[in-house]
Structure 1
Amino acid sequence: MNLTNYKINEFFQTIQGEGSYTGQPSIFIRLQGCPVACSWCDTKHTWDIEPSLEISADKLLAKSAETEQWSDLSVDQILTLIVQQKFKAKHVVITGGEPCMVDLTPLCQGLEQAGFSTQIETSGTFEIRTTDSCWVTVSPKVNMRGGYEILSSAMKRANEIKHPVATEQHIDDLKSLLLQHKVTTTPVYLQPISQKQRATELAIASCIENDWRLSIQVHKYIGIE
């Protein structure tokens, strides 16, 4: 029995819309808590952990809107909920918030032992503690209000790098990061911020120029969570 607990804001099944796993049916586990403070963050409701907003697993599953409420669940409880919800996906995406604020090894071990593949989406500002087989997506957040630096260990552990872009400065920041951390073979995805035309055109041109890949947040275009 694994008694490690995680503070979870959302728990749902959908289609992965970003990066290498685009199109993959996935179970998303969104953790509560993030100090990075990205200006364009679309999950600001996950930033703070307010003890008074803790709810039961049943209420978590019944949430119909984004809220700051969260539920404290063990690995065994999470596995039980997957069965109870009759989720069919065999791929689990652990996101946030900033999931790497906590040790994700017990959660990924439990999921993988139950037959799931695992993926973490992280800003690269915290040590990545997980299993060797977990797919790690690092979306490096440079010069955010929280003041956290991108860790070399995170860049080296990344299976893919997914970088949000809106301006030429974002491209320059990414090139500097790749050079600084000697990243040469890891797949790089550019993701236009908020699907704006200018950002999308910049991302396309930069992908062609640098032999990178495009990630366009398919789930937002087709209108799913």
Structure 2
Amino acid sequence: MNYKINELFETIQGEGSFTGQPSIFIRLQGCPVGCSWCDTKHTWDIELDDQVSPDIMLAKKAETSQWANFSAEDILALVKEKHFKAKHIVITGGEPCMVDLTPLCETFEDLGYSTQIETSGTFEIITTEKCWVTVSPKIKMRGGYDILASAMSRANEIKHPVATEQNVDDLKELLAMHQVENTPVYLQPISQKKRATELAIATCIANNWRLSVQVHKYIGIE
């Protein structure tokens, strides 16, 4: 099975439960959800004209919509070739759950890596039992996709972007609908704006939720 890869790099996880964890990010191409504040819009469309060789994709110096096909074995070989030290794999996008992620996660888990998926919750999550699933529910987005009950029940953590009280109300409604009680909930201020951050802090305190502040953006790393 081949995966359409837009980026592959080693950095520090800046969000959610694994904040501060050295991680290898695998960014997949393709997402129809249509979040207005998305900071990776270059991963939305899958155009055949944007398909390039693995070498060209890896040599990119800026964000582009170019992608390359990699098998799970190709990705593992590349990680070894680059001598990456991190033992945590983050599969993101785009929307990674548009494809079966089981072979990719198994390839790394069999060698002692931990794996994590970051998904909008709008597609069935097909992965291993060990994989940590971060659901960042994208509610009422332009693409018109519903948040799946199966995604909410599979979530190991819920990470929700907030800018307004309506975003908070939408999340509370979603949690009540799916009877989510014991899953850790993180609020993430959109674009690190002051008002959004203040709202997130107050809401976290009021509901015993957690704050996710996108540490990588504050310290200026990828």
TM-score range for the pair, normalised by the shorter chain length: over 0.9
Name the SS for the 2:100 alignment partner. coil
Structure 2 counterpart of 1:97: 94
2:15 is aligned with 1:46: no
Aligned mates of 1:55, 1:116 — CA distance in 2:
28
2:156 is aligned with 1:169: no
2:45 is aligned with 1:73: no
Structure 2 counterpart of 1:216: 213
Q: What is the TM-score when the length of structure 2 is the normalising length?
A: 0.99
Equivalent in 118, 129, 145 of residue 132 of structure 1: 129
Alignment of 1:1-225 (within 5 A): 4-225=1-222
Aligned mates of 2:4, 2:154 — CA distance in 1:
24
Counting aligned pairs with the same residue, the percent is 75
Amino acid at match of 1:149: D
Displacement after TM superposition at 1:114 (Å): 2.1
Aligned mates of 2:90, 2:218 — CA distance in 1:
20
Please, what is the CA RMSD of the aligned residues?
0.5
Amino acid at match of 1:27: I
Name the SS for the 1:171 alignment partner. helix
Per-residue CA deviation, residues 65-116 of structure 1 (Å, 9 max, x unaligned), is: 0000001000110000000111000000000000000010111011111221
Amino acid at match of 2:124: E
Amino acid at match of 2:145: Y
Per-residue CA deviation, residues 2-40 of structure 1 (Å, 9 max, x unaligned), is: xx1100000000000000000000000000000000000
Aligned mates of 1:56, 1:174 — CA distance in 2:
41
Name the SS for the 2:107 alignment partner. helix
Displacement after TM superposition at 1:57 (Å): 1.4
Displacement after TM superposition at 1:61 (Å): 1.5
Contact 1:190 1:212 in 2 (8 A): yes
Which sections of structure 1, spanning at least 5 residues, go unmatched?
A: none
Aligned mates of 1:81, 1:224 — CA distance in 2:
21
Aligned mates of 1:42, 1:163 — CA distance in 2:
15
Amino acid at match of 2:33: V
Residues paired across the two proteins, number = 222
Amino acid at match of 2:16: G
Q: What is the TM-score when the length of structure 1 is the normalising length?
A: 0.98
Contact 1:11 1:60 in 2 (8 A): no
Aligned mates of 2:158, 2:128 — CA distance in 1:
18
**Deviating runs (4+, > 2 A) in structure 1?**
none
Contact 1:104 1:130 in 2 (8 A): yes
Amino acid at match of 1:51: L
Displacement after TM superposition at 1:52 (Å): 1.3
Which sections of structure 2, spanning at least 5 residues, go unmatched?
A: none
